[in-house]
Structure 1
Amino acid sequence: MSGNSGIVTIDTGFQRPAFDAAYLLVENGRGAFIDCGTQHSIPAMLAALEGQGLTPSDVDWLILTHVHLDHAGGAGALMRELPNATLAVHPRGAPHMIDPTRLVAGATAVYGEEEIARSYGDIVPVAAARVRVLADGDVIELAGRALLCIDTPGHARHHLCVWDERSRSWFTGDTFGLSYREFDNALGAPFVIPTTSPVQFEPEPLKASIRRMLAKMPDAMHLTHYGRVGDVARLAGDLIAQIDAMVALARAADGHDDRHARLVAALTDLYVERAQAHGAPLAAAEVARLLEIDIELNAQGLEVWLDRDTA
């Protein structure tokens, strides 16, 4: 548990250790999950409850930052284990939780059927009566603990972030980028990169969402990929600078027959250079290996944005 704030980081086990997090908030004997991983993550979610002396009936909320499957693929199956919980989700995400057909089809188009089955398992619907749609500025109460939910487009149009005044921190999903612990430097300072995965990346809304969160002067951010990070103002500046750099690289690659390969190479060079300047204790090849999936998805997302922006 994080300090006295009642926050538990849960490794969902997706892809590799310390890659994909969900969170459990505990307040006065009641619980709320923020994000949930995939169907394969359910044992870890229930174990986290047990570790805090809670049962599944003590959970009031499952809050989804957005409905990409690494964050929300297990929501329907987990809700079956939580008899008193309400699923809270962005208005654009709610229909996909009630009927995940299009969500699964979209993810299958990106990853393929075999990968969907291997990584995500069964994706089952949530009864509409158990879903609360969250408007920008809505507040969820967890046993008297206020959780402010705001609309944060840029990574996805169905993305929200959650402000917890008690810990003075945000639960950021993917809006505040990716920060893996292997990249922390000798002083323990985190390294961060944006995530522009397909299909709804929008650079200006993403920068605006980062600035909106920064206005709260938070002590920390709780990222899905991965865990709690401080040094928030520096990381926000790094993210905004990189978004601009990534957009410039995408525009430079546009119009070439080998656009995708050029963009993957350019993004790899960008992240390696920045990681080494940060003092990450990794060789260039290891930086590229650890970020390989993210680089591929970032390139795809930038290309979808390019094609939409120039259409």
Structure 2
Amino acid sequence: MHAAHAIHVIDTAFQRDHFDAAYLLVNNGRGAFIDCGTSHALPRLLAAIADAGLGVDAIDWVILTHVHLDHAGGAGALMRQLPNARLLVHPRGAPHMIDPARLVAGATAVYGEQEMARSYGQIVPVAAARVVVAADGHRLSLGGRELSCIDTPGHARHHLCVWDAASHSWFTGDTFGLSYRELDSARGAFIIPTTSPVQFEPDALHASIERLMARAPQAMYLTHYGRVQDAARLAADLHAQIDAMTAIARACDGLDDRHDALVAALGALYLERARAHGCRLDDAGVLRVLDMDIELNAQGLACWLDRGRSQTRGEGVQAAPSTRPRPGMGGA
């Protein structure tokens, strides 16, 4: 916990330790979750409430940065345990929380019921009367502590970030990239963008990062994973890598083995940056930590290329992904 501002970091245990975080904010005896992981995380979330000295009736809000299932899959199950809570979500994400059938059906069709159960558990709806839509600039009070939300597309069109005035910090979901503690060095945190399928938009992501930086934040709270500081350096790293990654994507477009080429080139990019950063792990260790994200970023870049091609031909705004996204990454 970051005691000065009563921000509790909860490891949801999705995929591995220290990969996926939810946060519990506490102020004047009231609580709010920001992201919640999958339904498998429910015991940890309830334990965090007790550890904070609260009862379940003291939780006022469950705030979702976006509705990808590693962030929001457990929202319905959590809400059933919180009698006074309301769910705050982006306007594009709200329908999928009220009726998650589309998300569940699409992911199950790709991965099957067994994998869905293993990774995400039960995905249940949230009653529409308990859902609050957070348009750009939406504000709320947590026991007198002001939180506000801004629309931050780029990773997904249903993404928002949450500003906490008390800690002068952002809760960034996936907009401010991924930073794993295994890759920290004497220089601080190491970071990469996430272009997960299917709505990566580089120009929008650049603009969203700049909106976050406009408030000169003291810290960023990432879902993947934890609190990072030195936001100006990290933002510059993200901007540079977004440009490098889109250049890689264009160079690989048209290749018969495009996906494999993307994976190899992204791995090389991140290894070069990790060595320059002074990461303590060897190359194999860095690639092991980033393996899933390299795969997802390759898929996201492929979707971006294909969507641009479809738009050029006048075939609509979103092409089908050329590779398989992780469950729950679909186009809300």
Q: TM-score range by the shorter chain?
A: over 0.9
Cα distance in structure 2, aligned partners of 1:110 and 1:25: 35
Cα distance in structure 1, aligned partners of 2:252 and 2:271: 19
Cα distance in structure 1, aligned partners of 2:234 and 2:200: 19
Q: Which residue of 2 aligns with 1:230?
A: 229
User: So what's the TM-score if we normalise by structure 1?
Assistant: 0.98
Tell me the secondary structure at the aligned position of residue 158 of structure 1: coil
Distance 1:164 1:67, change over 3 A: same
Cα distance in structure 2, aligned partners of 1:110 and 1:47: 33
Tell me the secondary structure at the aligned position of residue 162 of structure 1: strand
Tell me the secondary structure at the aligned position of residue 300 of structure 1: helix
Cα distance in structure 2, aligned partners of 1:211 and 1:112: 39
Q: How is 1:68-79 mapped onto 2 (pairs within 5 angstroms)?
A: 68-79=68-79
Residue 289 (structure 1) shift: 1.1
Letter in 2 for 1:156: A
Letter in 1 for 2:46: L
Aligned pairs, number: 310
Residue 276 (structure 1) shift: 1.1
Residue 105 (structure 1) shift: 2.8
- The farther-off stretch of 112-121 and 32-41 is 112-121
Q: Which residue of 2 aligns with 1:64?
A: 64
Tell me the secondary structure at the aligned position of residue 171 of structure 2: strand
Q: Which residue of 2 aligns with 1:217?
A: 216
Match status 1:300 vs 2:299: yes
Cα distance in structure 2, aligned partners of 1:157 and 1:166: 27
Q: Deviations over 1:181-203 (max 9, x none)?
A: 0000035x000000000011100
Give 4+ residue runs of structure 1 displaced > 6 Å after superposition.
Answer: none
Match status 1:239 vs 2:256: no
Bigger RCO (CA 8 Å, 6+ sep): 2
Residue 116 (structure 1) shift: 1.7
Distance 1:112 1:261, change over 3 A: farther
What is the CA RMSD across the aligned residues, in angstroms?
1.0
Residue 257 (structure 1) shift: 0.7
Cα distance in structure 1, aligned partners of 2:214 and 2:186: 29
User: So what's the TM-score if we normalise by structure 2?
Assistant: 0.92
Distance 1:258 1:37, change over 3 A: same
Tell me the secondary structure at the aligned position of residue 5 of structure 2: coil
Cα distance in structure 2, aligned partners of 1:116 and 1:265: 28
Residue 140 (structure 1) shift: 1.2
Distance 1:7 1:110, change over 3 A: farther
Q: Which residue of 2 aligns with 1:148?
A: 148
Q: Which residue of 1 aligns with 2:86?
A: 86
Q: Which residue of 2 aligns with 1:102?
A: 102
- Ranges in structure 1 where 5+ consecutive residues have no aligned partner: none
Tell me the secondary structure at the aligned position of residue 291 of structure 1: helix
Tell me the secondary structure at the aligned position of residue 60 of structure 1: strand
Letter in 2 for 1:310: R
Q: Which residue of 2 aligns with 1:165?
A: 165
Residue 148 (structure 1) shift: 0.7
Cα distance in structure 1, aligned partners of 2:109 and 2:223: 23
- Ranges in structure 2 where 5+ consecutive residues have no aligned partner: 311-332
Cα distance in structure 1, aligned partners of 2:298 and 2:153: 19
Cα distance in structure 1, aligned partners of 2:194 and 2:61: 26
Residue 65 (structure 1) shift: 0.2
Q: Which residue of 2 aligns with 1:175?
A: 175
Letter in 2 for 1:287: V
Distance 1:196 1:111, change over 3 A: farther
Q: Which residue of 1 aligns with 2:328?
A: none
Match status 1:277 vs 2:276: yes
Cα distance in structure 2, aligned partners of 1:15 and 1:221: 22
Distance 1:37 1:62, change over 3 A: same
Cα distance in structure 2, aligned partners of 1:109 and 1:228: 35
Match status 1:55 vs 2:55: yes
Tell me the secondary structure at the aligned position of residue 310 of structure 1: helix
Q: Which residue of 1 aligns with 2:36?
A: 36
Tell me the secondary structure at the aligned position of residue 175 of structure 1: coil
